[in-house]
Amino acid sequence: MKIEDLKWKKIAILGFWKEWKSTLDFLLKNWVNTKDITVLDHYSEWTSNPSLVPLNRGGRHPDLIGMAGGATATGITFISWENYLDNLWQFDVIIKSPGISPYNPKISPYKEKLTSQIQIFFDNYNWKVINITWTKWKSTISTLAYETLKKAWYKVKLLWNIWIPVLWEINFNKNEYDFIVFETSSYMLEWLKKKNYISILSNIYEDHLDRHNWFENYKNAKLNILSWSEHSIVLDYTFKKYIPKWSEAGIKIFWKNWDYYFKDWNFYSNWKIVFDENWIRLLWEHNRINVCAILWICDIIWINPKILKEVLIEFNPLPHRLEFVGNFKGIDFYDDAISTTPESTIEAIKIFNKNIWTIFLGWLDRWYSFENLVKLIIESEIKNFVLFPDTWAKIKKLLPDSVRILETKNMKEAVEFAYKNTPAWKVCLLSCASPSYSIWKNFEEKWNEFKKWVAKIGTIWK
């Protein structure tokens, strides 16, 4: 939907979540009447004073009241609690937050009215976008693509699927960038109609099954990244398993002896060495996959691969992705808090080759299957397990009787258990194979608790 088409429409902002304030700011900047805006959410965060809504970047609008540190808007309608979805029929446009499932039976009848921030972005942004999605590790490849383009002297903007919403990041009236690198989630890609220059799709694992109403819808949301793309780049495994024969034309494939792959400590292009891995700080196989995908970007945009090698020599792993917390009392503590699926924890365990003595698992149940994870756990001879709700029962019943288990909701208790039961020169790994939301609001809060107690207990433990 074009920006000008939003004017004079009755608009619902569905979800008080992270994006809603930026969506409201965007509508007010584009002179949408506040009396045509309704905010809908089950929770009533603002209904104690619905006439005053704090804004960060509201701009000049007839219904804005100036305040120190921002502005407020008047005239907006707020509907919350159980009846917040009862009157969707009355709106012309429903701007939905990503976390709200369109499969909700009260929402799905209004599919044609639904839009999102990313849809507004693609409907109004006219320059080159590199769109990237994986189930896991997409933040690393997105950052690596951004740094490579920047090193090649392009004007480039990195947009995340979390953090700052896109409508706060992009000025549609300016052509400020040569490329936008956009990390997108399945929530954002679902039903999206887009146009972009390059799309990259790598691994697809079972994730967000509760939100997408099982795997088929999740898979299709991820595959949607390949629609309306000038260049589509796909991991070989995903290509073989999920890409139908009728749509293979023009897809560029990487890894395992395709156009770009890694073998014997070197990166290859069609049997020719591009560069070796000497001095590269990104370790482990999934990061080698990242590099092969970036080599395809270099090929398409005509960037010398030597520039990518220069970036890799300086590039550090992103936080919470197998990040070394420190050695305390001889124990190596690793933070892999962003591993929130069984498959990503499986990859983490493989890296340590039977050196893990204690692992923290569990949290929110998204209908995952843990059988393959526990099979690898048994093969890896991990001795100690900290299990958190809600998935602790599902994991516990798969573990052998010989292992030591602590079931807890308390991170301090969990870390004390690790210190008591992990010998020196072995690994304690926080890689939970589940999201954090049943106890903490996000993985950062979980990691902060882990880091705090590892350091604090490590300095006093006898």
Distance CA 17, CA 89 (A): 22
Distance CA 54, CA 331 (A): 47
Stretch 36-44: mean pLDDT, rounded? Answer: 84
Instruction: Please write the tens of the pLDDT for every residue from 247-274.
Output: 666 799 999 867 898 988 899 998 899 9
Task: For residue 394, give the 3-state DSSP assignment.
Answer: helix
Examine the pLDDT at 350 and tell me if it is beyond 90.
no
Cα Dmax for the chain: 69
Cβ distance 89 to 54 under 8 Å? no
Q: What is the number of other CB atoms lying within 10 angstroms of the CB of residue 311?
A: 22
Examine the pLDDT at 438 and tell me if it is beyond 60.
no
CATH classification number, 323-460, choose in 3.30.70.1380, 3.40.50.720, 1.10.10.60, 3.90.190.20: 3.90.190.20
The 11-14 sheet, strands edge to edge: 77-79, 37-40, 11-14, 93-96, 114-115
The fold for domain 3-115 equals Rossmann fold (3.40.50)
Predicted TM-score (pTM) of the model is 0.78
Stretch 355-371: mean pLDDT, rounded? Answer: 85
- DSSP letter at 317 equals P
Provide the pLDDT for residue 434: 80
**What contacts 424, CB < 8 A, 6 or more positions away?**
329, 330, 331
Domain-wise residue ranges, the chain: 3-115, 119-314, 323-460
DSSP lists the bridge partners of residue 66 as 71
Range ranked top by mean pLDDT from 219-228, 275-284, 439-448: 219-228
What CA–CA distances, in Å, run from 261 to 211, 279, 292, 348? 34, 18, 6, 21
**What contacts 141, CB < 8 A, 6 or more positions away?**
132, 134, 200, 202, 290, 293, 294
DSSP lists the bridge partners of residue 12 as 38, 94
Alpha helices by DSSP H, listed for 279-336, are 285-301, 305-314
Tokens of 316: 């550090």
CATH classification number, 119-314, choose in 1.20.140.10, 3.30.365.10, 3.40.50.720, 3.40.1190.10: 3.40.1190.10
Give per-residue burial for 185-195: e unless 16+ CB within 10 Å, then b: bbbbbbebebe
What CA–CA distances, in Å, run from 268 to 137, 142, 280, 338, 369? 22, 21, 16, 30, 35
Instruction: Please write the tens of the pLDDT for every residue from 282-340.
Output: 777 778 888 999 999 999 999 999 999 999 998 877 666 788 889 999 999 998 887 77
Distance CA 264, CA 358 (A): 32
Residues of the chain by 3-state class (helix, strand, coil), percent to 5: 35, 20, 40
Provide the pLDDT for residue 336: 87
DSSP lists the bridge partners of residue 181 as 130, 158
Instruction: Please write the tens of the pLDDT for every residue from 402-427.
Output: 999 999 989 999 999 999 999 999 99
Instruction: Please write the tens of the pLDDT for every residue from 227-238.
Output: 899 999 999 988
